Chains A and B, each alone.
Chain A
Amino acid sequence: MTLYLLRRLFLLAFVLLALSLLAFSLAYMFPGDMLQNLTGLRYIAPEQVAVLTAEYRLDQGYLAQYIAYLQRILSGNWGLSFASQQPLLQEIGLLLPATLELAAYALLISFFAGIPLGIIAAVKPEGVISKGISALAITGYSMPVFWWALLLIMLFSLGLGWLPTAGRIGVLYEVKHVTGFMLMDILLSDSAHRNDALLNALRHMLLPTLVLATYPTTVMIRFTKDSMLEVWEQSYIKTARAKGLNRLQVLYRHGLRNALLPVIRQIGLQFSTLITLAMITEVIFSWPGIGRWLIDSIYQRNYPAIQAGLLVISTLVISVNMLTEILHTLFNPLARKR
């Protein structure tokens, strides 16, 4: 296991290195002045150019520039955003939790709705309930996320007026940024209107989370069902039944434990799709997360922001991938041998 972990860590380091190379080379490929792209300064005075060139080691070879870039990234000096002229790292620090919050709740919903539904669908694969769940799953799986979001806004926000259309919380409430997770920040604050604020934030959160949860939930249903059906055919299930365990005991002790293994793996594989969908959802619901920020950056030709966004989002996806893979190995002794 230690060897396995070491190998994984080595792989992680390699992939991150390749990623940093990619991000580094982007500064040369983006249009515009390279020095501006690297520093994020929109206007550079002529006397500043020489100083900055020396600081960024642009007068030296590519290797020296790359090393300088790595040093800057590690020391937290990520340059400025073209749009706001604020340090990028600080801006991302404010935005990333919002995206993580949205994605985390969507994933949670997909666990608690998708896995039970998948199991129910696998109990009688030819039954009406199972067919209904499968039909629902394939419908959700085929739904274009931006259209689905628009439909829900039309119905619940504009038609019925039950839920707000955009933002994370009403403008009346002022919540101090502590963790960046809205619900946690509200609970940590000691304002008199804490409960109202919490309710308001939940109402804002409901639609985007539902929209984002649609895809992972349907993936979860499909995978749980398929993997459950496969496990149910195995001989150890027959043995367990022959021993005299009832259906529920077999399901819990032998079925679920084996069937959920590939599902864990699937979370890692689907995470990058989830982030793509989160970016689109954020745009539609004006959710102040990193996805909307990145898409705004492309409209504003904000190249330093795109470069930083690539670095942060890819690192996030890679880490989640790696984590689920390690978890999968931890739970599955068979995979450890390889």
Chain B
Amino acid sequence: MARFRLLADEHQARSPLRQLWREFARQHSAVAGLALFSAFFVLAIIAPLLTPHAPYLQNDNLLLLPPSWSELGLVQYPFGTDDLGRDMFSRFLVGTRYTFGIAVITVLGALIAGLLLGTLAGMSRGVKSSVFNHILDLALTIPSLLLAIIIVAILGPGLLNTIWAIMLALLPQFVHGVRNAIAEQLNQDYVIAYRLDGANNLQVFRRIILPNIWERLTVTATMALSTAILDIAALGFLGLGAQAPTAEWGAIIADSLDLIYVAPIGVALPGLLIFLAVLSVNLVGDGLRTAVKKRREN
């Protein structure tokens, strides 16, 4: 491929975002993943409006109702009820908010904190940045579940406390990513040219660094999101995260585990939902990664 072109062709004249979308839309699996991801996202926002029954309302007359496709089931309760007479379908819907929605918030928090710390580390030099790096390396080596165990031991179990643990576990990869990307950008000629024009650090960061690293950040964020969903569900399942009545998918599985012979759907479906949520995130992440690579090659 020629290195320089005098006339930009139509494809190159598009904005980077549109080029990215073009490459992304070519991959069917990625688009399917995006559709699924959007569905989960919308569900996480409007789930309380869609639930046919209150997810925490216990109905003594309808304990362990089978799903509606069995002969004993009721059509009002599509997936039946659990051992306390709560509607499964409503609980699954609301669970989207906990497992998926909170994972998104956690990743956003880690992203913002990582961007701040990574920028500080990337822009500073010398001993300060070296010490900072080693502390990060330490944080990177503590397994996320162990970190969660320690935080739960100090603060007690609960969804909010485990969120801190997961955020802390996700943080190093963001800081590392941002720091490396910034170090790479600062060596570019256009940064020096911009500095010679009199730009200060803040301007360099806003006008040059940020537009150049957001693609990579998005890819890191999707990878982190899949980890966050899996961690929240696993901690809920172990009883360290979301506590019993909360309709978090992992906690629902733990609740229904002793009824697995009577009502296998309570274990099967939330697991499937977790799997689908993570799958959609991974498909989007893979698609984005490929699209970014192809766009840069063009």
Say yes or no: A144 contacts B142, CB within 8 Å.
Answer: no
**Given A14-B134, A145-B234, A280-B234, CB of A298 within 8 Å of CB of B282:** no
Contact partner of A317 (CB less than 8 A), chosen from B142, B227, B230, B267, is B142
Chain B residue, CB-CB nearest to A143:
B275
Contact partner of B149 (CB less than 8 A), chosen from A139, A143, A298, A321, is A298
Chain B residue, CB-CB nearest to A279:
B145
Does B108 interact with chain A (Cβ within 8 Å)?
A: no
Say yes or no: A272 contacts B141, CB within 8 Å.
Answer: yes
Interface residues of B in 211-270 (CB under 8 A from A): 226-227, 230, 233-234, 237-240, 250, 253, 257, 260, 264, 267
Say yes or no: B150 contacts A15, CB within 8 Å.
Answer: no
Number of residue pairs across A and B with beta carbons under 8 Å? Answer: 121
| SS of B interface (majority) | helix
Does B105 interact with chain A (Cβ within 8 Å)?
A: no
CB distance from A128 to the nearest CB of B (A): 14
Say yes or no: A146 contacts B275, CB within 8 Å.
Answer: no
**Given A138-B279, A138-B283, CB of A280 within 8 Å of CB of B145:** yes
Say yes or no: A306 contacts B143, CB within 8 Å.
Answer: no
**Given A144-B278, A298-B152, CB of A310 within 8 Å of CB of B142:** yes
Does A200 interact with chain B (Cβ within 8 Å)?
A: no
Say yes or no: B149 contacts A294, CB within 8 Å.
Answer: yes
Say yes or no: A314 contacts B141, CB within 8 Å.
Answer: yes
B253 contacts across to A, CB distance below 8 A: 146-147, 150
Chain B residue, CB-CB nearest to A14:
B134
Say yes or no: A138 contacts B286, CB within 8 Å.
Answer: yes
**Given A138-B283, A298-B152, A306-B149, CB of A276 within 8 Å of CB of B275:** no
Say yes or no: A310 contacts B150, CB within 8 Å.
Answer: yes
Say yes or no: B267 contacts A150, CB within 8 Å.
Answer: yes
A283 contacts across to B, CB distance below 8 A: 238
Question: Which one of A26, A142, A279 has the highest number of Cβ atoms from chain B below 10 Å of its Cβ?
Answer: A142
| SS of A interface (majority) | helix
Contact partner of B146 (CB less than 8 A), chosen from A151, A276, A318, is A276
B271 contacts across to A, CB distance below 8 A: 144, 147, 150-151
A150 contacts across to B, CB distance below 8 A: 253, 257, 260, 267, 271
| Chain A 261-293: CB-based contact to B (< 8 A → 1; otherwise 0) | 000000000001101100110010000000100
Give the bracket for the number of chain A residues in contact with chain B: 35 or more
Does A118 interact with chain B (Cβ within 8 Å)?
A: no
B50 contacts across to A, CB distance below 8 A: none
Does A73 interact with chain B (Cβ within 8 Å)?
A: no
Does B42 interact with chain A (Cβ within 8 Å)?
A: no
Does B72 interact with chain A (Cβ within 8 Å)?
A: no
Does A31 interact with chain B (Cβ within 8 Å)?
A: yes
Chain B residue, CB-CB nearest to A144:
B274
**Given A144-B271, A144-B274, CB of A310 within 8 Å of CB of B234:** no
Does B49 interact with chain A (Cβ within 8 Å)?
A: no
Say yes or no: B230 contacts A15, CB within 8 Å.
Answer: no
**Given A29-B154, A142-B226, CB of A18 within 8 Å of CB of B143:** no
**Given A14-B134, A146-B234, CB of A154 within 8 Å of CB of B260:** yes
| Chain B 273-297: CB-based contact to A (< 8 A → 1; otherwise 0) | 0110011011100100000000000
B281 contacts across to A, CB distance below 8 A: 142
Does A236 interact with chain B (Cβ within 8 Å)?
A: no
Interface residues of B in 155-169 (CB under 8 A from A): none
Chain B residue, CB-CB nearest to A301:
B153
Q: How far is the CA of A69 from the CA of B134 in the complex (A)?
A: 23
Does A303 interact with chain B (Cβ within 8 Å)?
A: yes
Contact partner of B134 (CB less than 8 A), chosen from A15, A29, A139, A275, is A15
**Given A138-B286, A142-B279, A150-B267, CB of A317 within 8 Å of CB of B141:** yes
B45 contacts across to A, CB distance below 8 A: none
Interface residues of A in 281-338 (CB under 8 A from B): 283, 291, 294-295, 297-299, 301, 303, 306, 309-310, 313-314, 317-318, 321
Question: Which one of B142, B233, B239, B283 has the highest number of Cβ atoms from chain A below 10 Å of its Cβ?
Answer: B142
Does B140 interact with chain A (Cβ within 8 Å)?
A: yes
Given A141-B226, A306-B153, 4 additional A-B pairs, CB 8 A:
A144-B274, A306-B150, A309-B149, A310-B142
7 pairs, A vs B, C-beta closer than 8 Å? A26-B153, A29-B154, A145-B230, A154-B260, A310-B142, A314-B146, A317-B141
Residues of B within 8 A of A (CB): 134-135, 137-138, 140-146, 149-150, 152-154, 226-227, 230, 233-234, 237-240, 250, 253, 257, 260, 264, 267, 271, 274-275, 278-279, 281-283, 286
